[in-house]
Amino acid sequence: PAPPALLPYVPRLSPMALPGKLTATTFALERPHCIFQQHSNASDAIWLVVAFANASAAFRNPPSRAEVPLYQQLPTRGSYMTLEMAVGTCSCSAPSPAVLRVGADTACGAQAGHDPCNGPLPSPGPYRVKFLLMGCQGPKAETSWSEPILLRRASSPSAIDPSPVCGGSSAVVVVSSILASLGAVLALAVLSAVGAEVWASLCHQGLGIDTSARRSYRTHHILPTLPLPTGCGGSPPG
């Protein structure tokens, strides 16, 4: 088969200011928007390839979905594929902005390992990623590899100095203690006042709760899931 087309797109972290865009086990990628349009049809799927930076050059595109490397193979193989998406997820008409959070599925460790999984990344890396368009006959198009992505490192408890900083006068220590005590008293007074106001409001309403006023915590920037294609002679994996 002909090699997949190389598209002029380099994956990158989302440019949006997001909380937790880069953590010790996850990172948030920009969605590849409107780049596979001329190479895809309804039966294709878009995959994300994740590899250790020093193993990306050795990665070989799988000839079919049955040979996609799994998340559980990352420690030994150095790469895996995840986030299988319908082509429409990244089409020109798809809503934007949106991100793809790599490493978000904490249930991967409990799975049998037969299906692709988006599990937490096991080390800071660095990692490289690319997007791969897969059709019924194999790979059709791919992006370039990203620049190395280094995750945050958790601070070691041994690196924290438990001893107090010396050199301050006793007067400074006394003043700091007094200010801390006054701050605690003030905070307690504010909390008491707020609690009393809330209780009075609830009593006035007969302790009723308006379910229509509940806040939704659904994040607007996470990509919605679309049904995977079924045009290759079978149904999408469950």
C-alpha separations of 98 from 13, 41, 186, 193 in Å: 11, 22, 42, 41
Place of tokens 């008491």: 192
Other Cβ atoms within 10 Å of 24 Cβ, number: 13
**pLDDT of residue 234 exceeding 50:** no
Q: Which residues, listed in sequence order, are joined to residue 142 by a DSSP beta bridge?
A: 6, 132
pLDDT tens per residue across span 73-122: 999 999 999 999 998 888 888 777 789 999 999 988 665 556 789 999 99
- Least confident piece of the model among 60-69, 71-80, 193-202, 212-221: 212-221
* Domains defined along the chain, listed by start: 5-152 (2.60.40)
**Pairing state between β 127-135 and 45-52:** antiparallel
